[in-house]
Structure 1
Amino acid sequence: MKASVIANKDYTVARIDDRVYGAFLEHLGRAVYEGIYEPDHPTADANGMRGDVIDLVKKLNVPVVRYPGGNFVSAYNWEDGIGPRDQRPTRLDLAWHTSESNAVGIHEFADWCASVGTEMMLAVNLGSRGVDEARNFLEYVNHPGGSYWSDLRIKNGRKEPWNVKMWCLGNEMDGPWQVGQKDAAEYGKLAVNTARAMRMFDQSLELVVCGSSHSDMPSYPDWERIVLEHT
């Protein structure tokens, strides 16, 4: 079977959401380390971010970037990526079988997004963790102050909250390659409970559930139906 697509820029049907042109940054290969972060690079800024990459991404006008994964997020502890760099733990990354230094975390990613002029979209770990991790991460990122996690953010150098509105509830949870893989019903229940807790904090959040990883999955398309029934 052959198919063709004709795109005519002068034939306007409706406006689309600019976020369909969003991008994705994961702790995978050289995407973060040597990709955006390389302190010894001749163009690196004071935070270790490559200036040449910042200049290139600026030209792309990327509306939103998702972080930190990807498969990486399903065994990620976001707390490892905050505080002084020399005190951050090195962890084994189960997704990509490497060592993770945690030199780049939420603070560094947020600063990088500001430098390139894009919006943050964050993902929470629903593989090895769940509701409690999500609400704590949300509190750290979005609460002005006066609570444990928000005050820790302030202590770590960021007074104002980032007010991130878009959050992904896990990543590719149907995949056997995923840490904490779940069936559709298990994931749907966890996703809706996580969403309820997060919306108790802020009802205006935009929350995204995981669809099928691809159409060849044995659970496709029942996965979508079952997840939506729960959420």
Structure 2
Amino acid sequence: MRCRILILTLALSRLPVSGQSKFVRAERGQATIEINTAKTASYEIPRTIYGTFLEAIGRSVYGGLWAQILENPSFEENLWSGENLRQMLGQEPALARSSGMGLPLPWEPLAYSQGWRYEPCWNDAANSFRSLLVMGLPDHQVGVRQQVYLPVHRTLRYTGSLYARTTGSPVGAEVSLRRRNHPEARLAQVALHLTSQQWARYEFSLQLSPGQLGPLDLADFVIALSNDGRALIDQALLFPADHVDGMDPEMIAMARALKTPLVRFGGNFTSGYHWRDGVGPLDRRVSMLNQAWGIPEYNHFGTDEFLRFCELVGAEPQIGLNLGSGTPEEAAEWVRYVNDRWGDRRGGLLWELGNELWGSFQIGYPTLGQVAARTKAFSDAVRRVDARARLIATGQDPDHFREWNAAQLGLGPDAYQFLSTHFVVGTANLRRRDPAPEFIAEAAFALPVGLERSLREMKAQIDADSSARGRVKIAFTEW
């Protein structure tokens, strides 16, 4: 049959691979596609030609997929890079004042007018490294607050927990939601009685009434002490009650609608990620700096949460191993851990041996002279625990691949089945200044043509190696 190529890309991706198609130039500048369904193609397109990608960058995990609402829930320091701190303080100048009072960003005092009633306490924490001492005042509430957006369009109930210990007598406390910058306007509240001088966990539930907050209305989440009591607080968590195993139900629904066959867990943060930080009880996981992106890594969304996400959206996991600051032994134990928890527990998953290791922006990157040996060491370690593992070695990007890929190909095809490549350039990366819209459109159409040529050259280099020909394929793991 013949049809015009208007916007057919998505539709064509769903056609059976048994058909063959070709482009035919038509009159009046139109193009048509001819599909011969009677002729079977000589190749198969793997289902995994399409996949999606999840990395702890921006709001993709914390403030996105992971439903926990509070930032810096364990009251730590040094969780943001200098540039990200500059942006945060530019957006919320009042935080500079609260930071000067000893409060960890982005927490604020319940009332600035009460002055210095706070002290950060190192090495006395229920979680991570710091807690916060709150010192009350007679006949007043003293506490901390954090601005939050709540998904009130779908749920009005919020559940959470916090850790606290008193410095002496029992202390009355309150957890509440209040109107932003209006501490007198409580929207929901619950009283807590802090009785122990040892760290104890307190749970709470907050119920809003319909219409109290609009979907884009800011609120303050508040932890306050009554009268002149004193207590240390730590690890405050707040979830919408409709979360799905800690994840946002809307994000789950949208991810499931993508019908992705696999989800890649990787990216730049892979080169500094140590998987053991993200397993075990949530309240014992340590907050730290995500060095790749200069943002907090709370380790709430770790291996088990990622595997659960894959189950919920019907995808297979593809995980990037840490070839930056990691060790082969650490990688092998991660493979063993995942295999003991996924599917039929027989292994055979896709594992990436590093991410963009050719870049000096990667933590612990190997040099050109080191990459093959490092790849081999990790490959051997993984193979010892899972002989069925499908391994993706780090290849270079399409424009600078020859020397790097040649070094990797020197290992032989038994070390891995795929060489990765990434291409994350778009029309925002034009070299021409002030381009006309027509030029941007032309660049957009030319980009895949140039990329195809580079990929063919990459494949030709692989095929020129008789031991790799037909055994090593290209894995396009970022695009």
- Tell me the TM-score range normalised by the shorter chain: 0.7 to 0.9
More helix by share: 1
Structure 2: unaligned runs, 5 residues or longer: 1-21, 24-31, 70-150, 156-241, 416-479
State the shift of 1:86 in Å.
Answer: 1.0
Aligned counterparts of 2:303 and 2:346: Cα–Cα separation in 1: 10
Q: Work out which of the residue numbers 10, 17, 41 in structure 1 matches 2:35.
A: 10
1:25 corresponds in structure 2 to 54
- Name the amino acid aligned to 1:229: G
Aligned: 1:59 with 2:257: yes
Alpha carbons of 1:184 and 1:18: their partners in 2 closer, same or farther (altered >3 Å)? farther
How far residue 125 of structure 1 moved from its aligned partner, in angstroms, is 0.3
> Which of 1 and 2 has greater Rg?
2
* 1:15-94 map, 5 Å: 15-39=44-68, 41=151, 42=154, 44-67=242-265, 69-94=266-291
Is the 1:66–1:123 contact (alpha carbons within 8 Å) kept by the matching residues of 2?
yes
Q: TM-score, normalised by structure 1?
A: 0.82
Superposed displacement of residue 161, structure 1: 4.5
CA distance 1:89–1:61, change in 2 (3 Å): same
Q: Distance in 1 between matches of 2:55 and 2:314?
A: 18
Tell me if structure 1 keeps the 8 A contact 2:350–2:391. Answer: yes
- Count of matched residue positions in the alignment of Structure 1 and Structure 2: 210
State the distance in 2 between where 1:176 and 1:214 align: 18
* Structure possessing the higher relative contact order (Cα contacts under 8 Å, 6 or more residues apart): 1
Distance 1:86 1:227, change over 3 A: same
Compared CA separation, residues 8 and 211, structure 1 to 2 (3 A): farther
Instruction: Report what 1:183 is aligned to.
Output: 367
Which of 391, 396, 407 in structure 2 is aligned with 1:207? 391
Rate the CA distance shift 1:70–1:191 in 2: closer, same or farther, 3 A.
same
Equivalent position SS for 1:184: coil
Contact 1:127 1:170 survives alignment (8 Å): yes
The CA deviation string for residues 83-127 of structure 1, in whole angstroms up to 9 with x for no partner, is 111110011111001121011001111111111111001111000
| Secondary structure of residue in 2 paired with 1:121 | strand
- RMSD of Structure 2 on Structure 1 (CA): 2.5
Give the aligned residue type for 1:191: T
Distance 1:204 1:70, change over 3 A: same
The 3 A distance-change label for structure 1 pair 182 and 30 is: same
User: Would you say the 8 A contact 2:347–2:389 is kept in 1?
Assistant: no
The aligned counterpart of 2:403 is 222
Q: Distance in 1 between matches of 2:290 and 2:53?
A: 18
Alpha-carbon distance change, 126 to 9 in structure 1, aligned in 2, over 3 angstroms: farther
Q: Distance in 1 between matches of 2:273 and 2:68?
A: 23
Q: Tell me the distance in 2 between the aligned counterparts of 1:9 and 1:134.
A: 48
Corresponding residue to 2:295 among 98, 105, 116:
98
Contact between 1:80 and 1:102, CA under 8 Å: does it hold in 2?
A: yes
AA partner of residue 195 (structure 1): S
Report the identity percentage: 33
The one-letter code of the counterpart of 1:170 is G
Deviations 1:153-200 (A, max 9, x none): xxxxx9x84846110001000001110111233111111121112112
Q: Going by fraction, where is strand more abundant, 1 or 2?
A: 2
The change in CA–CA distance for 1:166 and 1:94 in structure 2 (over 3 A counts) is same
